[in-house]
């Protein structure tokens, strides 16, 4: 009997993530499968919920709304700053990413617009506000070791951190 995916299962999946337009945003194709510890918040909630109870060898497609993925885009995380804030950067351009120290620790920001000396940044997750479409193939399912459960992640060398 195949092991069903549940809390403390170590699961390996091949996946392709597309947006509403069908563009591939992320995929495991050409790489090792993604291996994660189920029930330890290592996947977005909507995908983890879909994985529950499935077994190795199963494939499925699922559409996950922003609320069960990376959340809605938060307008408070979009700010306009003076170009002076970007000391040491020769040319600030839209699409550039930076890591900034914020109140919650490190956060990734992306420049979305530059208008003269004004730079608009967005600290939302790049996938915030997006509906995500996953095609998933479950490669393997096994029980986690006590150490993996304690640490909240997989220890077999194929971690994707």
pLDDT one-digit tens code per residue, 38-87:
999 999 999 999 999 999 999 999 999 999 999 999 999 999 999 998 88
DSSP reduced 3-state for 17: strand
Q: Do residue 117 and residue 92 come from a single domain? A: yes
Q: Do residue 53 and residue 91 come from a single domain? A: no
pLDDT one-digit tens code per residue, 10-38:
999 999 999 999 999 999 999 999 999 99
Rounded to two decimals, what is the model's pTM?
0.79
Q: Is 71 left (phi over 0), alpha (psi -120 to 50) or beta?
A: left
Q: Does residue 2 form part of some domain?
A: no
| Sequence-ordered alpha helix ranges (H) in 16-76 | 45-51
What domain range includes position 29? 9-70+128-151
């Amino acid at each position: 009997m195949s092991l069903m995916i549940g809390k403390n299962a170590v699961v390996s999946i091949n996946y392709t993530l597309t947006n509403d337009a069908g563009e591939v945003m992320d995929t495991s194709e050409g790489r090792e499968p993604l291996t994660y510890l189920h029930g330890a918040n290592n996947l977005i909630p909507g995908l983890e919920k879909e994985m529950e109870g499935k077994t190795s060898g199963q494939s499925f497609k699922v559409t996950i709304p922003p609320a069960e993925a990376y959340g809605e885009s938060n307008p408070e995380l979009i700010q306009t700053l003076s170009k002076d804030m970007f000391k040491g950067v020769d040319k600030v351009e839209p699409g550039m990413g930076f890591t900034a120290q914020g109140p919650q620790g490190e956060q990734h920001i992306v420049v979305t617009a530059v208008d003269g000396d004004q730079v608009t940044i967005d600290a939302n997750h790049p996938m915030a506000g997006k509906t995500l479409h996953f095609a998933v193939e479950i490669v393997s399912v096994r029980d986690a070791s006590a150490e993996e459960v304690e640490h909240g992640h997989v220890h077999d060398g194929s971690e994707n951190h």
